[in-house]
Structure 1
Amino acid sequence: MACNQHKVWRRVAFLLSLLSILQICARGDPQVPCYFILGDSLSDNGNNNGLSTKAKANFKPYGIDFPVGPTGRFSNGRTIVDVTAELLGFGEYIPPFTSAKGRDVLKGVNYASASAGILDESGKQLGQAIPLGGQLKNYLKTFSQISKILGGGTAAHKYLNKCMFTVGIGSNDFINNYFMPDVFRTSELYSLDRFVATLIDQYSQYLQTLYKCGARKVALFGLGPIGCAPAELARYGATPGSICVDKINDAVVRFNKRLISLVDDLNDNYKDAKFTYINILEIGTGDATAAGNELLAC
């Protein structure tokens, strides 16, 4: 991750700390008992290390500014979720699912997987990944562990209601699926608006399952300007008169608008929970917008 993005991630984490779902104090115990993370390469801290995939970051120059060197983080140092964990008051970073064991899961788990998307097939050309549905299944395994530790599902729900959850995913559904017609037929089968609607519908079902399995404080990251990524510029070239691939950034805007509406709907339907939208697309200018079918059993 480029060095100039480091300030952006710190700003995002700081904004998270200002949201009404929590309050941060400089000292003392963590402000929430645990922190659970679902997402893609922006949050992955080692879950892809053991997978057969090109999407790995457990070698240099990744981690050159991280105390223990390369860990699987797709960054020179800390990630956005690492900084968020610090601001929440945790003394250690949240462990990846692949290494979280025993009572450590009571402090939270990171399920994120690089190249993963909302749809199972997104990013598969790179090899194995843990899509959002697979991450949710792993969370349910953790739920079962916590239930055993605390003495039952009711106690687990009560405990998890106090915890923080962040979810940041969807970029790979575009850049490693819809806008890769040489590999995927998605753009032939779906108009852009229909594809966005499909993503949001699937996302909604997963989030409702997360709610039913204890989540009450959930921050959802919108997508950033992925049409400005070097890989997309190399693939398509910048749109005339622009420095980015505008058709990809247009897709991002459409997705984010639907995600904001989804957040509003979730807050309307689940009054005992707080879902918050984090506007990554505008975060570089200091603006952040907060907006207000069970698949698996827990």
Structure 2
Amino acid sequence: MVSRRSFLHQSWVSPLFLFVVVVALAASSADGSRTPRVPCYFIFGDSLYDSGNNNNLNTLAKVNYSPYGIDLPAGPTGRFSNGQTTADAIGEILGFKDFIPPFASNPDDRQILVGVNYASGSAGILVESGKQGGDNVDLSQQLRNHEVTVSRIVEILGSKVAAFEYLGQCLYICNSGNNDYINNYILPQSTAIRNQYNPDQFAALLITQYSAQINRLYELGARKVALAGISNIGCTPSLIATLGTNGAPCVNSVNQLVVPFNTRLKSLISQLKLSYPDAKFAYLDSVRVGTLVGAGNRLIRV
């Protein structure tokens, strides 16, 4: 069973991270006003981006209680941090006045035209990842939830053509893959999958599934897509406490374990650019961002 200590995250914003997202994918407002740089913003991923989708699930991976959210005016909301998530901060930089609502909050027509957050704590690319801690919304289900949203936007705007023209201007961001390692591949009870796949083979398995998921996102109208690589997860408190570091700051073997995934993700993005010249895809280097942020990060421990 996964303890609540396994789901600890930080609230931070890197200027480099935001610069990459805004410049690479979003068109700036010509007049410098607070009009959002994109008309809508859709968020997919795991607990780094989750804003409350796990609140009503039967899972240990939910944080709608103190001390989470201690720096938010509303208090605990289901965010796995003391304050804003990186996805929230990107939305603010893009000019959105309010946080993008979680899908689980049943946003109304006005809200979904601005965007929806589908991210779910403990979720991964693979359906089974993170399920040892209870329910979550894996990435494939997040996409099915997005299909529901797209259908509603078609109804609101009157036609699929109008809806896809609108959706093509929006920003889509996804942070996935962390839990396929933390809460799947490197779990003590996951010897079967480690025996079946070496690290490079497991990365290939993830990218094959991820490729199908991102292609589906394109089919649903996405044309400006940012995909975050896996960060140095060997530096998370839970893995340091569980695996030990032999005197090093982090569990270096785990940090090396995810390198093949990030390498293959970069190659996937290059392929997507060739396959879909009418779309923009960007790689967000989570390892470099984590290095820039340094010791100023604030962790919530429970």
Q: State whether TM-score is above 0.5.
A: yes
CA deviation after TM superposition for structure 1 residue 246, in Å: 1.8
Q: Is the aligned partner of 1:13 residue 2:18?
A: yes
CA deviation after TM superposition for structure 1 residue 15, in Å: 3.6
- Once the two structures are superposed, the pairs formed by residues 14-53 of structure 1 within 5 Å of their partners are 14-23=19-28, 26-53=32-59
On the 8 A contact 2:226/2:283 being kept in 1, the answer is: yes
Distance 2:207 2:235 in 1: 23
The answer for the alignment partner of 1:201 in structure 2 is 208
DSSP-derived class of the 1:107 partner: coil
On the 8 A contact 1:44/1:112 being kept in 2, the answer is: yes
- Once the two structures are superposed, the pairs formed by residues 225-244 of structure 1 within 5 Å of their partners are 225-238=232-245, 240=246, 242-244=248-250
Distance 2:19 2:61 in 1: 28
Distance 2:27 2:188 in 1: 42
Distance 2:261 2:29 in 1: 30
CA deviation after TM superposition for structure 1 residue 263, in Å: 0.4
- Once the two structures are superposed, the pairs formed by residues 82-101 of structure 1 within 5 Å of their partners are 82-99=88-105, 100-101=107-108
Measured on the aligned residues, the alpha-carbon RMSD in Å equals: 1.8
Distance 2:215 2:200 in 1: 22
DSSP-derived class of the 2:281 partner: strand
DSSP-derived class of the 2:282 partner: strand
On the 8 A contact 1:24/1:87 being kept in 2, the answer is: no
CA deviation after TM superposition for structure 1 residue 251, in Å: 1.8
Distance 1:203 1:69 in 2: 34
Q: Is the aligned partner of 1:280 residue 2:260?
A: no
Indicate the larger mover: 154-163 or 175-184.
175-184
The two structures have a TM-score, normalised by structure 2, of: 0.89
Q: Which amino acid aligns with 2:235?
A: C
Q: Which amino acid aligns with 2:214?
A: L
The two structures have a TM-score, normalised by structure 1, of: 0.90
Distance 1:131 1:197 in 2: 18
State how many pairs are aligned. 284
Distance 1:11 1:264 in 2: 21
DSSP-derived class of the 1:224 partner: coil
Indicate the larger mover: 177-186 or 118-127.
177-186
- Once the two structures are superposed, the pairs formed by residues 179-218 of structure 1 within 5 Å of their partners are 179-183=186-190, 185-218=192-225
CA deviation after TM superposition for structure 1 residue 244, in Å: 1.6
Q: Which amino acid aligns with 1:168?
A: N
- Taking a change above 3 Å as real, the CA distance of residues 103 and 166 of structure 1, as seen in their structure-2 partners, is same
The answer for the alignment partner of 2:296 in structure 1 is none
- Alignment identity in percent? 48
Q: Is the aligned partner of 1:128 residue 2:132?
A: no
The answer for the alignment partner of 2:300 in structure 1 is none
Q: Is the aligned partner of 1:68 residue 2:89?
A: no
Indicate the larger mover: 131-140 or 224-233.
224-233
Distance 2:124 2:263 in 1: 18
Alignment gaps of 5+ in structure 2 = 1-7, 294-302
